[in-house]
């Protein structure tokens, strides 16, 4: 019997891949590259203490240990993911260099003031409504001249008009597209959801207001054709832990005939890579001021 996992752990393990082994390998390869850039920019030094906020399965945290961090604090809202990380740390023989803290990014009260040298995030602030408070917490737990190294998708950049879905043309199916969009908009209102309520300029402003200086931000922008995908994997992939898969949304909102119309129209685009992929990724590094100015 499989053990039930919370939505964060289930998404990271299964739902972000849609059961597609090739998609899994591609995603993990991309994430390894993100980890390397994030840690390179953090300039983690041997013996330092690093706090990985929203550690997930530990990609960044274990990378920091490999680079010589003396102590790594794994922080996440998910106890299931912290258990995964603890088990991996035990297997790797690095448990004595790890600490595990259940906490939200905007409330790190279990971590003492000025107790870490580096704070990292990877796709964490996109889930946090109180981003200002989160940056304030990062500044609080950092020692003077400590650093943040943050990676966040800028989902506003990927926003499109009502004639597209995930970059694919749905203009002949306005009625169906509206029903699908209503499912997702109810869960993630486009004007207030934390995944889309900020851009790279907001990250810079919030970091500055929290007392970081100097600040550097690198923005990687990609506009390209979508990769051909398995239709079944596309149907069964959830874009993030808070939303249903397309198959679940179709079942919830469309009639049998509407599901057939959508599949007939959309499936060839997905399988032949006929959509447009748009993404902007922000890497921000900044230093906590060593004194009030």
Q: How far apart are CA 60 and CA 241, in angstroms?
A: 19
Q: How confident is the model at residue 23 (pLDDT cuts 50, 70, 90)?
A: confident
Going from the C-alpha of 162 to that of each of 36, 83, 240, 255, 262, the distances in angstroms are 36, 41, 20, 20, 15
Calculate mean pLDDT across residues 148-163. Answer: 87
Candidate from 150-159, 209-218, 238-247 with smallest mean pLDDT:
150-159
- Look up the pTM and report it: 0.94
- The Cα diameter of the chain in Å comes to 65
The answer to whether 77 touches 104, Cβ cutoff 8 Å, is yes
Helix (H) or strand (E) holding 112: none
Helix (H) or strand (E) holding 115: none
Q: How far apart are CA 45 and CA 48, in angstroms?
A: 6
Output the pLDDT for position 164.
Answer: 85
- Which pair of structure tokens corresponds to residue 155? 């989902």
- Quote the mean pLDDT of the chain: 94
Output the pLDDT for position 34.
Answer: 96
Q: How confident is the model at residue 73 (pLDDT cuts 50, 70, 90)?
A: very high
- pLDDT tens, residue by residue, 241-252: 999 999 999 999
Greater pLDDT, 164 or 58: 58
**Hey, where are the domains in the chain?**
1-155+196-224+277-293, 160-193+227-274
3-state secondary structure of 123: coil
Exposure string (b/e) for 10-41, b if CB count within 10 Å is 16 or more?
Answer: bbbeebbbbebeebbeeeeeebeebbeebbeb
CATH topology of domain 1-155+196-224+277-293: Rossmann fold (3.40.50)
Output the pLDDT for position 1.
Answer: 44
- pLDDT tens, residue by residue, 88-128: 999 999 999 999 999 999 999 999 999 999 999 999 999 99
Query: Is it the case that residue 32 has pLDDT exceeding 60?
Result: yes
Exposure string (b/e) for 112-143, b if CB count within 10 Å is 16 or more?
Answer: eeeebbbbbbbbbbbbbeebebbbbbbbbbbb
The answer to whether 103 touches 110, Cβ cutoff 8 Å, is yes
């Amino acid at each position: 019997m499989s053990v039930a996992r919370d939505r964060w752990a289930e998404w990271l393990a299964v739902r972000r891949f849609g059961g597609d082994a090739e998609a899994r390998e591609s995603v993990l390869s991309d994430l390894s590259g993100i980890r390397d850039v994030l840690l390179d920019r953090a300039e983690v030094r041997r013996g330092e203490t690093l706090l990985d906020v929203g550690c997930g399965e530990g990609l960044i945290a274990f990378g920091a240990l490999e680079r010589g961090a003396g102590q790594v604090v794994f922080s996440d809202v998910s106890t299931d993911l912290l258990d995964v990380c603890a088990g991996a740390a035990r297997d790797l023989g690095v448990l004595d260099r790890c600490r595990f803290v259940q906490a939200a990014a905007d409330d790190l009260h279990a971590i003492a003031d000025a107790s870490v040298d580096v704070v990292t995030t990877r796709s964490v602030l996109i889930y946090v409504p109180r981003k200002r408070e989160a940056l304030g917490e990062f500044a609080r737990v950092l020692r003077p001249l400590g650093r943040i190294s943050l990676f966040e998708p800028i989902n506003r950049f990927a926003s499109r008009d009502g004639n597209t879905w995930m970059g694919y043309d749905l203009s002949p199916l306005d009625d169906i597209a509206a029903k699908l969009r209503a499912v997702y908009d109810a869960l993630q209102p486009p004007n207030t959801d934390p995944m889309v309520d900020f851009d790279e300029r907001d990250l810079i402003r919030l970091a500055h207001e929290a007392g970081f200086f100097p600040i550097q931000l690198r923005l990687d922008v990609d506009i390209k054709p979508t990769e051909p995908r398995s239709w079944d994997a596309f149907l069964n992939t959830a874009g993030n832990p808070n939303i249903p898969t397309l198959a679940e949304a179709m079942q919830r909102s469309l009639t049998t005939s509407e599901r057939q119309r959508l599949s007939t129209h959309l499936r060839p685009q997905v399988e032949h890579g006929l959509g447009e992929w748009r993404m902007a990724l922000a890497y921000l590094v900044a230093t906590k001021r060593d004194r009030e100015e």
